[in-house]
Chain A
Amino acid sequence: KAGVTQTPRYLIKTRGQQVTLSCSPISGHRSVSWYQQTPGQGLQFLFEYFSETQRNKGNFPGRFSGRQFSNSRSEMNVSTLELGDSALYLCASQGGSGDTEAFFGQGTRLTVV
Chain B
Amino acid sequence: KQEVTQIPAALSVPEGENLVLNCSFTDSAIYNLQWFRQDHGKGLTSLLLIQSSQREQTSGRLNASLDKSSGRSTLYIAASQPGDSATYLCAVEDDYKLSFGAGTTVTVRA
Contact = CB atoms under 8 A, between A and B. Distances in A.
> How many B residues touch the partner, as a band?
20 to 34
B49 A101 contact: yes
Interface in B68-110: 89, 91, 93, 95-103
A92 B38 CA distance: 14
B96 A105 contact: no
Given A43-B89, A56-B95, A103 B100 contact: no
Q: Most chain-B Cβ atoms within 10 A of its Cβ — which of A50, A101, A106?
A: A101
B91 to A, nearest CB: 8
B96 A102 contact: no
Nearest to B36: A104
Given A101-B34, A101-B49, A106 B95 contact: no
B42 A107 contact: yes
B103 A103 contact: no
Interface in A13-48: 31, 33, 35, 42-43, 45, 48
B97 A104 contact: no
Given A45-B97, A45-B98, A48-B96, A106 B31 contact: no
B29 interface: no
Interface in B13-53: 31-32, 34, 36, 41-46, 49, 51-52
> How many A residues touch the partner, as a band?
20 to 34
Given A42-B102, A48-B97, A99 B43 contact: no
B98 A102 contact: yes
A84 to B, nearest CB: 19
Contacts of B98: 33, 35, 43, 45, 92, 102
> Which 3 pairs between the two chains have the least Cβ-Cβ distance?
A43-B100, A104-B44, A106-B43
Interface of A: 4, 6, 31, 33, 35, 42-43, 45, 48, 50, 55-56, 58, 88, 90, 92, 98-107, 109
Given A56-B96, A99-B31, 9 more contacts: A31-B96, A33-B97, A35-B98, A45-B98, A98-B31, A99-B52, A102-B93, A105-B43, A106-B43
